[in-house]
Structure 1
Amino acid sequence: MNNQHLRVKAIAAEAGQIALRHFRDASALEVDSKGPLDLVTAADREVEGFICAELSRAFPQDGIFGEEGSTIKGTSGRTWVIDPIDGTFNFVRGSQHWGVSIGLFEQGRPVFGVVNAPACGEIFAGGNDLPAELNGKPLQPLPAFRRDHAAIGIGIHPKIPADRGIAIFNEVIADLKLAYRVTGSSVTSLIDIAKGSVDGYVGLGIPSWDILGMLPCLEQLGVRTTIDWQKSGLDSDLAFACGSGAMLDVLGRMTQLR
């Protein structure tokens, strides 16, 4: 493992500890709203500030793009995409389904990422020259896809109109006849794919920072997405599916993702 991987994993680990301290005292946490059911806390801002400072120190030529407004252009052509706490609503409500996400975007695609789910004691990493791992140990290959008990995660951003969100569930349940899971956190749903709990994920209105940390790890496990990064920039709201080739063959029929 090269020094870059080690450094980013160390940053994610420390960032997770900062977030965890706030999580354990959530009743005293300052909570603001960016929109309906879209929360931001002092923990989000502190964690993003820490990650931004550490990445700038470690990789001064690189750009940074963070959920809470951190933006550095950079000169290297590489951009670190940060979600300090994906699943802030869960975080505020005391659920463990949240994570610190750091992903590297280079040459038009995600190439490396680290996700720390500190409330669960799990750090995932993977990407170029780094096989998918959990807490430093290789992740097991994904189970073979079985259509008769396939399950997917679903993520719908609060800004998506209710009728379109309902249409997604209608397609999954009535048309595709799939089991589904809703965690309230894109990064947690992607973790569920890595652990074999679900076979895929569909997201509607999802920002890039929610998924950039986990996608390179999943790619190492053979998971693909329908995202065309040449057409969808880092500031796009994404409508996409991800999973194995067999899962994408099933999800490709969903009209709401076209």
Structure 2
Amino acid sequence: MTLKAIQDQAVIIETLAREAGALALSHFETLATVSVESKGHLDLVTAADQEVERFVTKRLARDFPDDGIFGEEGAAHQGNSGRTWVIDPIDGTFNFVRGGDQWAVSIGLYEGERPTFGVIHAPVRAQTLVGGRGLPSTLNGKPMAPRAGLDVNRAACGVGFHPDIPVERRLQTLRFVLEDARMSFRCCGSATISLIEVALGQVDGYLGMGESTWDLMAALPILEQIGIVSTVNWDTIDLTAKLRFACGTPEFLTAVEPIVPFGATLDDVL
């Protein structure tokens, strides 16, 4: 793609994410009337998730008819361009249902078996992040500063666990963070929001156990442009994978390598 085509695509997807966020926010403001179903223990889906995904899917199919689509709530379209849009309509649904602000719309592009571009919009927090190959990463339209280093005297780590992860494995992870890595930890209930916090330097990195590809597809390309790397080995997984990964500055990844090395999987956890 030409630079202009990349920039035009970014404008289209940012506009779409903002409109999807406004739709989600309209449900958020009338939570008492929103239907909620369970996909598993502490794993919820709402009518808002489903409506937002339908909205985003319809627009992507119109604007990028040759591209594939893959969404958390079941959207699936096999394109012929080698590109797939990966949607998390509301990442942090549990927070959404409880009236919290830690949720976001996430739209990422998977191309060449890699995340290459993404937009995240967190409506309640008024944060919109855009970035990817050929584009600077921005927060609300302003360039984001590169992240580097790790101050061991005040290091902080975001953590996230899927409800299916055994309690003992969660405790082992937290024990490593606190005792071995000697970091404080934060757990907000949304991988996307946690990765925003990494981007803003509010935490040094993130440890995720049980996340899906839609949880990080938009965030990783944004983070890569500001010096943040991850342990995900895209050569060994597909879009349906459940992940065990770390994301942060290179120094952060070195600090957590004993518990989450490059290419780590969930095979030895579940």
What is aligned with 2:249?
244
Distance across 2 between alignment mates of 1:38 and 1:63: 26
CA contact (8 A) 1:65 1:80 kept: yes
Q: 1:95 aligns with which of 95, 100, 105?
A: 100
- Match for 2:182 among 177, 183, 194? 177
Matched, 1:166 2:192: no
- Write the distance in 1 (CA, Å) between the matches of 2:63 and 2:24: 21
Alpha-carbon distance between aligned partners in 1 of 2:96 and 2:237, rounded to the nearest angstrom: 29
Q: Specify which of 49, 53, 57 is matched with residue 44 of structure 1.
A: 49
Which of 18, 22, 25 matches 1:13?
18
Fraction of identical pairs, as percent: 48
Q: Where do 5+ consecutive residues of structure 2 fail to align?
A: 266-270
Q: Secondary structure at the match of 2:130?
A: strand
Pairing of 1:73-222 with structure 2 (within 5 A): 73-142=78-147, 144-222=149-227
1:230 aligned counterpart, secondary structure: helix
Deviations 1:71-120 (A, max 9, x none): 00100000000000000000000110000000000001100000000011
Amino acid at match of 1:254: I
- The question of whether the paired residues in 1 share the 8 Å contact of 2:20 and 2:55 is answered with yes
Q: For 1:214 and 1:24, how far apart are their aligned partners in 2? A: 26
Q: Normalising by the residue count of structure 2, what TM-score does the alignment of the two structures yield?
A: 0.93
Q: What secondary structure, in the 3-state scheme, does the structure 2 residue paired with 1:149 have?
A: coil
**Runs of 4+ residues over 6 Å off in structure 1:** none
Q: Which runs of 5+ in 1 are unaligned?
A: none
One-letter identity of the residue aligned with 2:229:
R
Residue 70 (str. 1) matches residue 84 (str. 2): no
Question: Who is 2:65 aligned against?
Answer: 60
Matches within 5 A, 1:219-230: 219-230=224-235
Matched, 1:3 2:44: no
Q: Report the TM-score when normalising by structure 1.
A: 0.97
SS of 2:18's equivalent in the other structure is: helix
1:10-58 deviation digits (Å, cap 9, x = unpaired): 1001000000011111121100000000000000000000000001101
Distance in 2 (alpha carbons) for counterparts of 1:55 and 1:88? 22
Residues 143, 196 of structure 1: 8 Å contact kept: no
